[in-house]
Amino acid sequence: MDNYLRLAFGCLLAGGLIFLTEKLFPTVAPKLSAAASSITSNGSASSSSESTRLRTAYSVLDGYKHLSVQALTDPLAPNFTQQLLPSSLGMPARSKEEFAKHAGMVTSIFSSFAMLPIPGQVFEDPVQNAVVAHCRMVGELKNGLGPWENECMITMRFDESGTKVVEHREFVDSARAALLRQKLMAGKGGPPGGAATESFTKSS
């Protein structure tokens, strides 16, 4: 009940402030009224574009679990680029088409895979139109090669609508990536995915 009383008092106070402002500062009143309306209806002054960015970012991360190239590429803009970091890896940026090819290699090597955002470690920046996520990568390799884990920091930038990713920068644990290459090349007397695995180990 105390919470309801506080809310009611806050609404009355806001209404009184708007009334006084209308009398004293008529040009300011419409802006104040709009802000108060947003706060009382949503609980905070947030924009729909921010939530759209987050929804798109989570859909990108969720797409990994489907092991589907289409699921991974649907949220990407036509001018999308992906960059793996650190730069010491010497990896060139990938276009959307090149990323799709790489995603196909991932689906050929893993029987299950997930990109799991760490709770409390996903941040949105409306000014930069970006989302940053610290994630765990968890997968099960095919041909009995067992489980695999890594972690990464991903920065995603979006188009004006917030529904498409235009840039994906992924900072990975390169030591763990090297272990994955060794595991794939040594497994079962050779790479489990044939030419696709050989290409993946050179590009991951």
Same domain, 38 and 16: yes
Answer for the pair 75, 165: CB distance below 8 angstroms, yes or no.
yes
Do residue 193 and residue 113 come from a single domain? yes
Looking at the fold, whether 37 and 70 belong to one and the same domain comes out as no
Same domain, 33 and 55: no
DSSP per-residue codes, 76-125: EEEEEEEEEE-GGG-PPPEEHHHHHHHHHHHHHHEEEEEEEEEEEEEEEE
* pLDDT number for residue 188: 52
Return the percentage of the chain with pLDDT > 90, whole number: 54
Q: Is 22 exposed, middle or buried (0-12, 13-18, 19+ CB in 10 A)?
A: middle
Cα 173 versus chain centre, distance: 18
Pair of tokens at residue 104: 């196909």
User: What pTM, to 2 d.p., does this model score?
Assistant: 0.68
Task: Kindly report the CATH number assigned to the domain that includes residue 121.
Answer: 3.10.450.50
For residue 204, which of 185, 186, 177, 184 has the smallest C-alpha distance? Answer: 177
* pLDDT value of residue 126: 93
User: What are the tokens at 40?
Assistant: 């009382």
Does 135 share its domain with 186? yes
Provide the residue range defining the domain that includes 158.
48-203
- What's the domain count of the chain? 2
Q: What is the token pair recorded at 45?
A: 């002054």
Q: What pLDDT sits at residue 186?
A: 80
Residue-wise pLDDT for 98-142, tens only, equals: 999 999 988 899 999 999 999 999 999 999 999 999 999 999 999
Q: Residue 200's pLDDT is what?
A: 45
Mean pLDDT over each residue of the chain, to the nearest integer = 77
* 54-80 pLDDT per residue, tens: 999 999 999 999 999 999 999 999 999
Same domain? For 186 and 110 the reply is yes
Question: What local confidence, expressed as pLDDT, does residue 194 receive?
Answer: 44
Q: Is 138 found in the same domain as 109? A: yes
**73 shares its domain with 161:** yes
| Type of residue numbered 52 | T
Answer for the pair 175, 77: CB distance below 8 angstroms, yes or no. Answer: no
Predicted local confidence at residue 80, as pLDDT:
98
Sheet of strand 165-172, all strands in order from the earlier edge strand to the far edge:
94-95, 76-85, 165-172, 146-158, 130-141, 110-125
The answer to whether residues 70 and 14 belong to one domain is: no
Three-state DSSP state, 171: strand
pLDDT computed for residue 112 by the predictor: 96
Q: Are residues 78 and 22 in the same domain?
A: no
Average pLDDT over residues 182-203: 54
37 shares its domain with 57: no
